[in-house]
Every structure is written in structure tokens, then in C-alpha cells.
């Protein structure tokens, strides 16, 4: 049975609620919207780290996956997707190039129904080569932001991603 999904706008709005926001109101939204500003900052940081890591043949996304796997003896995909706040399909799409490059491989899991991956020696080598580039970029970002501001920012971001206190 196909169910018709009603748009959220279908409720009756008062005249005030249905008015189009002014440019000034939208500017205030842009300046104060967590989502808008996090996405802008995320893209800026990702572009910078992608540029720096490009010289060792990695993107920031691939480096993050390698770094995550480097903290373990291997991870099942569900906990890795949860840690990286990715859906499983997106994670699989991001793992494919790393697998093609020979940086990761499947390893046995205690749970026979779960896929588990780990770094290969080539993956460890890629991480070893990428780490100094990442460190240089990271240190530059921290220096430009300021250490105390960076600590506050990291604490806030970790709280947001860890607690996931949002309504769905």
C-alpha cells in the first residue's frame, strides 16, 4: 500500500507565520544558524585539508577513515558508521576506493553477519606518509584559531556529535 506523505507546510498557517521573511531576517538566520555555519566551516576545513593531503594522494575523508581504523585492530561497519556519523551506504562508498588502493581489507569478525575491515600494510604506510601533512595543516589551523578557541570548538563539536540530542 502506498501512503501519501503530506508536506509539513500543509497545516494552516496564520497570516504572520506565512509571511515571507525579509532580507534582514534571513541575514540574521544565516549569521546565527548552527546548521548553515557548521556546513560552511566544514566545507572550508575539508577543502583546506583536502588540498594539504592531496600531495600524499588522500582526501580528508579517506584520511579520517584510515585514522579511525588506525586506532583499532579493525572495526565492524555498523560501529564505524556510527562513530563517523555516516549511514552505512555512504561508508561503503567511501571504503571502496580505499579497498581498491589496497589500504584496507576484510578481516574475520566474531559476528558472522557483520563485515569488519582493518588497515593493510599499504594502509599503514599511507597513514604514515599522510600524518606529517595532516599534522602541519592541523597545527596551522589551531594556531590561526587560537588554542583556547580551538579547545572550546572541539569540545562543543564533540558534544553535538556524541549526544545527538536532536528530534528526528
Do the Cβ atoms of 60 and 49 come closer than 8 Å?
yes
**pLDDT tens digit at each of 168 positions of the chain:** 444 544 444 455 555 566 898 888 888 888 888 888 899 999 999 999 999 999 999 999 999 999 999 999 999 999 999 999 899 999 999 999 999 999 999 999 999 899 999 999 999 999 999 999 999 999 999 999 999 999 999 999 988 887 666 655
Q: What is the pLDDT of residue 27?
A: 86
Q: What is the pLDDT of residue 166?
A: 65
Bridge partners for 107 per DSSP: 116
Q: Is 103 strand, coil or helix?
A: coil
Q: What is the pLDDT of residue 34?
A: 86
Query: In CATH, which of 3.20.20.140, 2.40.50.1070, 2.40.10.10, 1.10.10.10 is domain 44-137?
Result: 1.10.10.10
- Can you give the length of the chain in residues? 168
Q: What is the pLDDT of residue 160?
A: 84
- 7, three cell numbers: 508536506
Name 45's Cβ contacts closer than 8 Å, sequence gap at least 6. 60, 141
Do the Cβ atoms of 103 and 122 come closer than 8 Å?
yes
Q: What is the pLDDT of residue 33?
A: 87
Domain residue spans of the chain: 44-137
Q: What is the pLDDT of residue 5?
A: 42
Q: What is the pLDDT of residue 6?
A: 46
Do the Cβ atoms of 131 and 102 come closer than 8 Å?
no
Q: What is the pLDDT of residue 48?
A: 97
Q: What is the pLDDT of residue 15?
A: 56
**Nearest CA among 71, 65, 76, 67 for reference residue 106:** 76
- 152, three cell numbers: 572550546
Q: What is the pLDDT of residue 29?
A: 84
Residues 73-122 pLDDT 10s: 999 999 999 999 899 999 999 999 999 999 999 999 999 899 999 999 99
Amino acid at each position: 500500500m502506498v501512503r501519501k506523505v503530506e508536506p509539513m507546510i500543509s497545516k494552516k498557517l496564520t497570516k504572520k507565520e506565512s509571511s515571507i521573511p525579509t532580507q534582514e531576517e534571513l541575514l540574521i538566520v544565516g549569521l546565527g544558524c548552527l546548521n548553515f555555519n557548521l556546513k560552511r566551516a566544514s566545507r572550508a576545513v575539508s577543502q583546506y585539508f583536502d588540498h594539504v593531503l592531496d600531495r600524499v594522494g588522500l582526501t580528508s575523508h579517506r584520511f579520517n577513515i584510515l585514522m579511525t581504523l588506525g586506532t583499532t585492530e579493525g572495526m565492524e561497519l555498523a560501529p564505524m558508521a556510527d562513530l563517523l556519523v555516516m549511514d552505512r551506504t555512504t561508508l561503503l562508498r567511501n571504503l571502496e576506493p580505499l579497498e581498491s588502493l589496497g589500504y584496507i581489507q576484510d578481516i574475520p569478525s566474531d559476528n558472522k553477519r557483520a563485515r569488519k575491515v582493518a588497515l593493510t600494510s599499504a594502509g599503514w604506510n599511507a597513514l604514515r606518509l599522510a600524518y606529517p601533512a595532516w599534522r602541519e595543516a592541523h597545527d596551522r589551523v589551531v594556531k590561526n584559531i587560537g588554542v583556547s578557541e580551538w579547545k572550546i570548538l572541539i569540545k562543543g563539536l564533540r558534544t553535538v556529535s556524541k549526544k545527538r540530542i536532536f528530534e528526528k
